[in-house]
Structure 1
Amino acid sequence: MQNLTMSWQTAGAVAAVALASGAAVRRTGRESAGLVLREIGTVLALFSVWQFAGTLSVMGSEDATGRAQWVWDTERSLGLPSERTLQHWVLPHPWLVQGANYYYATMHFGAVIALLVWLFLRHRQYYPWARMTLVLVTASSLAVQLVPVAPPRLLPAAGMADTAVQYGQSVYGTTIGGVQADAYSAMPSVHVAWCVLVAVAVVRAGRSRWRWLAVLHPVLTVLVVVVTANHFWLDGVAALVLLGASYAVQAGASRIRARVRAPQPREELPEQSPAEVGAER
């Protein structure tokens, strides 16, 4: 299966065009259209950086398997369920495995785009918060991913199958624009960070009782990334820590802004008695 996303070069070029077009359109007085183009450009620029950052690393990928082994051993010492056991329950059902592969390849970015469009059109007051959360959690995830960690499918000791390769659905190994999807960026799981972001935003902004169905997205995503042997449990835990930190940073920044903008109380001079007034004269 071909990678269903753009290369970082294409995304960056489209982002530049969208941002420039947005600025030009806003000068003509069409504020709404300009804002839409600006937001499209911003999201694509973020995606371009994410794609490009996957090609970088501050440490050699030759140690990625050793780090993955440490993650695997740590999970066993903590008594976490085995990812291998969960995958073995699913492997006898090809339709389920192929569905998981497609979900892994498409839903992480697709759901985020759908969320941003929905918030921008229907719940504009929540849009800046969601977009900034996306920027913060993605940037912090990329910083951690500069240290390569192999996924379970590339760890011999895990004994897990690469389900996407088995069914010809792998997004790894396919070169687009001279760049391959990074196979050694398992820690943390951006898929998990983004899916929880989507669920929290829908529950917070939505008003219908059906909004709680959005919680199924992170549940399915966590199961999918494990069943397809693309992530360890701890990859998801690390993603949640970074997402929580992103929310905390925004909450702290909001409190600081509120303090700065709050009107300062006027300093009143103490009242003087008639005798003091007369003495001054």
Structure 2
Amino acid sequence: MRAPRAPRVWFEILLIAVSYYVYSLIRNSVPEHEDKALAHADDIWAFQAKLGLAFEDSINHAVDGVHWLVVSMNYYYSTLHYVITIAVFVWLYRKHPGRYGAVRLTLAVTTFAALIGYYLYPLAPPRLMTDTVFIDTVQVHGTWGSTSSGNLANVSNQYAAMPSMHTGWSLWCGITIVMLAKAPWARILGALYPMATIFVIMATANHFWMDAVGGMICLAFGYAAAYAWYGKSVYQLPQQPAVLAKAPA
């Protein structure tokens, strides 16, 4: 069970489909306690203000003043979260099959930890807070494809902001690319991707910076679980799985 092995494409596609379905089912079935979620948002905003680190509204307003930029960020938020993650999975499958299962386990545990956070601590994103100066950039600029507006808002839990899986998944992608890619330009892009994502989630008023910290903690738990299972860093496993010799008849 702990030995690196070559992934099978049909099993991986089925596993990803089932995992995402279960993730969505659990995430969106969490009771949407609006009052509690809004109260938690007020608490976090007040706590950040006490620290002198309540700056998301300034970023939100500055970006909203540049139409092409804020629209680009809206599409970034609603698409790259999935596109880049799938692309990294495909790259791992093709180039690093011996590490694929371990790195996949890291993300799976990270996402499971996030589900616990969604259930125990419903949190409204800044854009849904009442009596604040935050701008809902999707609503204002009519961006398509976001789960925060339109028909998708009715089937997606709008109070699952803590922890931020945009942060957790993008950081997983970035670390994986930096650790395993050979091309310097790829490593640079890998390092920039999670930083850009954290900026985008704050600029579009979808998350507080504390949500990003929550995503990082979940990812750290995911790496720790994979390390405990394999006995070493997932990136230290062999690139290619060992080929088991066929026993003689």
- Cα distance in 1 for residues equivalent to 2:210 and 2:194: 15
Question: Are the aligned partners of 2:106 and 2:225 in contact in 1 as well (CA < 8 Å)?
Answer: no
Q: Is 1:86 paired with 2:59?
A: yes
Q: Does 1:141 align with 2:114?
A: yes
Task: Tell me the TM-score normalised to structure 2 length.
Answer: 0.84
Alpha carbons 1:173, 1:181 under 8 Å: kept: no
* Pairwise CA distance, 1:137: 0.5
Q: What is the rounded CA distance, in whole Å, between the counterparts of 2:160 and 2:34 in structure 1?
A: 10
1:193 — aligned with what? 168
Using the alignment, how far apart are the partners of 1:91 and 1:107 within structure 2? 20
Runs of 4+ deviating beyond 6 Å: none
* 1:152 has 2:129 as partner: no
The answer on 1:161 being equivalent to 2:135 is yes
1:168-227 per-position Cα deviation (integer Å, ceiling 9, x unaligned): 124224446x96122111111010000000001111111222223211111111111101
8 Å CA contact 2:32–2:157 kept in 1: the answer is no
CA distance in 1, matches of 2:31, 2:137: 29
* Distance change >3 Å, CA 174–CA 101, structure 1 → 2: same
Whole-angstrom distance in 2 between the partners of 1:130 and 1:208: 20
Give yes or no for contact 2:110–2:218 (8 Å, CA) kept in 1.
yes
CA distance in 1, matches of 2:40, 2:133: 16
RMSD of aligned residue pairs (Cα, Å): 2.1
TM-score by length of 1: 0.75
Residues 108-161 of structure 1: CA distance to partner in whole angstroms, max 9, x if unpaired? 111110000000011112211221111101111011101311000011244100
1:208 maps onto 2:186 in alignment: no
Match of 1:217 in 2: 193
Higher relative contact order (CA 8 A, sep 6+): 2
- Residue identity opposite 1:215 in structure 2: A
The count of residues paired between Structure 1 and Structure 2 equals: 224
Decide which structure has the larger Cα Rg and report it.
1
Whether 2:13 is the aligned partner of 1:40: answer yes
Matching residue of 2:22 = 49
How far apart are residue 55 of structure 1 and its match?
1.9
Q: Deviations over 1:69-89 (max 9, x none)?
A: 111111111221410011121
Percent identical pairs in the alignment equals 31
Equivalence for 1:181: 156
Alignment counterpart, residue 230 of structure 1, candidates 188, 196, 206: 206
Contact 1:149-1:184 within 8 A present in 2 as well: yes
**Equivalent residue number for residue 85 of structure 2:** 112
The answer (yes or no) to whether the contact 1:83–1:226 under 8 Å persists in 2 is yes
Alpha carbons 2:32, 2:159 under 8 Å: kept: no
One-letter code aligned to 1:70 = D
Mind listing any 5+ residue stretches in structure 2 that lack a counterpart? 1-5, 233-249
